[in-house]
Amino acid sequence: MKIHPYEHFHESLEPLLTSKAEELKLFGYGKVTNDQLWDFLQLKVWKSQWTNLDYLSL
Protein backbone atom coordinates (compact mmCIF):
# COMPACT_ATOMS: atom_id res chain seq x y z
CA MET A 1 0.00 0.00 0.00
CA LYS A 2 1.31 3.43 -0.93
CA ILE A 3 1.60 6.08 1.74
CA HIS A 4 -0.09 9.37 0.92
CA PRO A 5 2.32 12.31 0.62
CA TYR A 6 0.47 14.16 3.38
CA GLU A 7 0.61 11.26 5.85
CA HIS A 8 3.40 12.99 7.78
CA PHE A 9 0.85 15.70 8.74
CA HIS A 10 -1.59 13.23 10.29
CA GLU A 11 -0.33 13.45 13.86
CA SER A 12 -0.07 17.25 13.89
CA LEU A 13 -3.61 17.58 12.45
CA GLU A 14 -5.20 15.28 15.03
CA PRO A 15 -6.54 18.19 17.18
CA LEU A 16 -8.11 19.74 14.09
CA LEU A 17 -9.71 16.42 13.14
CA THR A 18 -11.13 16.05 16.64
CA SER A 19 -12.56 19.57 16.52
CA LYS A 20 -14.14 18.98 13.11
CA ALA A 21 -15.64 15.66 14.26
CA GLU A 22 -17.20 17.41 17.26
CA GLU A 23 -18.53 20.19 15.02
CA LEU A 24 -20.12 17.70 12.64
CA LYS A 25 -21.76 15.94 15.58
CA LEU A 26 -23.26 19.26 16.72
CA PHE A 27 -24.70 19.78 13.24
CA GLY A 28 -26.41 16.41 13.39
CA TYR A 29 -24.10 14.28 11.26
CA GLY A 30 -23.86 11.61 13.94
CA LYS A 31 -20.65 9.93 14.96
CA VAL A 32 -17.75 10.88 12.70
CA THR A 33 -14.32 9.61 13.67
CA ASN A 34 -10.96 11.26 13.13
CA ASP A 35 -9.98 8.33 10.92
CA GLN A 36 -13.04 8.85 8.73
CA LEU A 37 -12.18 12.52 8.32
CA TRP A 38 -8.56 11.68 7.53
CA ASP A 39 -9.62 9.11 4.93
CA PHE A 40 -11.96 11.68 3.38
CA LEU A 41 -9.16 14.22 3.11
CA GLN A 42 -6.82 11.73 1.49
CA LEU A 43 -9.31 10.14 -0.88
CA LYS A 44 -11.41 13.16 -1.90
CA VAL A 45 -9.77 16.48 -1.05
CA TRP A 46 -6.16 15.52 -1.80
CA LYS A 47 -6.87 12.87 -4.46
CA SER A 48 -4.83 14.67 -7.10
CA GLN A 49 -1.74 13.99 -4.99
CA TRP A 50 -2.03 10.31 -5.87
CA THR A 51 -1.92 11.00 -9.60
CA ASN A 52 0.77 13.66 -9.80
CA LEU A 53 3.55 13.26 -7.26
CA ASP A 54 6.40 14.45 -9.49
CA TYR A 55 6.32 18.05 -8.33
CA LEU A 56 6.86 16.97 -4.68
CA SER A 57 10.32 15.55 -5.37
CA LEU A 58 12.29 18.77 -5.52
pLDDT tens digits along 1-45? 677 788 888 999 999 999 999 999 999 999 999 999 999 998 888
Kindly give, in sequence order, each residue whose CB lies less than 8 Å from that of residue 32, ignoring residues fewer than 6 positions away. 20, 21, 24, 25
Query: Does pTM surpass 0.75?
Result: no
Cα-only R_g, the chain: 13
Q: Is the distance from CB of 34 to CB of 18 less than 8 angstroms?
A: yes
pLDDT in the model for residue 28: 95
**Residue 43, pLDDT score:** 86
pLDDT of amino acid 1: 63
